Structure 1
Amino acid sequence: MSKILLKLIGVNKFYHMGEVTVEALKDISLEINEHEITVILGPSGSGKSTLLNMIGGMDRPSAGSIFFYDRDLTRLDDQELTLYRRREIGFVFQFYNLIADLTALENVELAANLVKNPLSSRKVLEKVGLAARKNHFPSQLSGGEQQRVAIARALVKNPRLLLCDEPTGALDLATGQKILSLLKKINEELGTTIIIVTHNSAISTMAHNIIRMGSGKILEIIANPHPVPPERIAW
């Protein structure tokens, strides 16, 4: 039986803009099991990226609790939260955020140096299919290759949780399918828990669990007993 990796209880997030209060998240409660793929689905402004930032320790909720296993992230100070992000979380974004004057290998090695027991940078690049491109700079790589470097950079820390914010948003269909297949492979071979945030409903079919959001609320949580292979997904 899977253990609960994340548990959110009554999470709210408010932003004050002058005299106006914006409710970005409204009473979010959910559980995410380890070793599963979860897709958080919703249109722009639904709160999905804000929720990902809370889970990843990049922002704090205005109210409520977030547990990573038995650890209440809302009680951590800034230094403890930084260590949580560094040791437990791998981040993959729509725009790759690679350092332009470092090679693919050097970008991955930079992340590896942040943790005590990283995976091999060269072996991780091999796993994402870029062993032959390790000495190329980002400007010499295609968009799909840059996204694979970004995934390798997140993966080299051997995180227990991989957070992906629109990982295929800047890619064409064929390249996007390859990236999703790679994420599926990482989940199956390494047991990494993966959360993907997207507005693309087709991608949700590859997940074990689907969370639909709207206007800062969870509208529906769906268990998917038969995930679709990523190579069969089209949009």
Structure 2
Amino acid sequence: MSENVLMHLDKVSKVYTMGEVKVEALKHTTLEVYQGEFLVILGPSGSGKSTLLNILGGMDQASSGEVYYKNRNLTQASEASLTRFRREEVGFVFQFYNLIPDLTAKENVEIAADLVDNPLLVNECLKDVELYDRMNHFPSQMSGGEQQRISIARALVKNPRLLLCDEPTGALDYSTGKTVLSLLKKINVEKGCTVIVITHNTAIGAMGDRVVRMRDGEIFEITINESPLSPERIEW
């Protein structure tokens, strides 16, 4: 495997069984993810992009095919090993923030820091997302955009190599969404973190180094952006 390949999926499929019905959510998918890239995965609801993200993040296991993280085969990993992978290597950002309501912003970030051996400084991560002055506020006292930025700080504090973002702007208005995308791009550039954003918003594809397009559980196109747009220049 090339040194700049962080993850490699080889002919990966995922089948869910619901009673007597089998649903093939992902079909024979092959994909390389490069270290330090900003990758956008586009597709409508039901296209398989969330299933792909879950497999990349070790939250779900493939029904067939191979998944490699660097030179490590995750397909054969135990549940304990996958848990360590998620804790130590991956940061997650979700559409609906998933903050703990009874904890302050700082405490929400501290919980993630406690999961790893070498976390970043909590206060520095709060400064990175420009919410240092709001660290003692509870989620209910914050706007949706602020809550999403705290969830990014929570992911960032683990110092992950891979940041997986599932519709990170889906619950936000246009202006706030662009602020969040700018923050994700800043983390990608300044921290050298590989960022993967899955979205149905085709405009966001313009900021990716590469764009993966999916439908019906398959990748049907991968394009390279020679000149990715800054989030400020994206319109939707």
Aligned to 1:95: 96
Counterpart code for 2:109? V
Identity percentage of aligned residues? 61
Please give the residue correspondences for 1:11-50 in structure 2 after superposition, counting only pairs within 5 Å. 11-50=12-51
SS of 1:182's equivalent? helix
Aligned to 1:176: 177
SS of 1:15's equivalent? strand
SS of 2:165's equivalent? strand
SS of 2:62's equivalent? coil
Aligned to 1:148: 149
Counterpart code for 1:161? L
Equivalents in 2 of 1:99, 1:15: separation in Å?
A: 30
Counterpart code for 1:63? S
Deviation track 1:104-129 (CA, whole Å, cap 9, x = no partner) reads: 00000010000000000000000110
Aligned to 2:62: 61
Aligned to 2:111: 110
Instruction: Report the count of equivalent residues.
Output: 235
Equivalents in 1 of 2:161, 2:173: separation in Å?
A: 29
C-alpha deviation, 1:2, in angstroms? 6.6
Q: Which runs of 5+ in 2 are unaligned?
A: none
C-alpha deviation, 1:19, in angstroms? 2.1
Equivalents in 1 of 2:196, 2:9: separation in Å?
A: 14
SS of 2:22's equivalent? strand
Counterpart code for 1:21? K
Equivalents in 1 of 2:118, 2:232: separation in Å?
A: 33
SS of 2:151's equivalent? helix
Deviation track 1:170-203 (CA, whole Å, cap 9, x = no partner) reads: 0000000000000010011000000000000000
Moved over 4 A (4+): none
C-alpha deviation, 1:232, in angstroms? 1.1
Counterpart code for 1:87? E
C-alpha deviation, 1:18, in angstroms? 2.1
Deviation track 1:141-178 (CA, whole Å, cap 9, x = no partner) reads: 00000000000000000000000000000000000000
Report the TM-score, using the length of structure 2 for normalisation.
0.98
Aligned to 2:227: 226
Aligned to 2:127: 126
Counterpart code for 2:79? D
SS of 2:8's equivalent? strand
Report the TM-score, using the length of structure 1 for normalisation.
0.99
CA RMSD in angstroms, aligned pairs only: 0.9
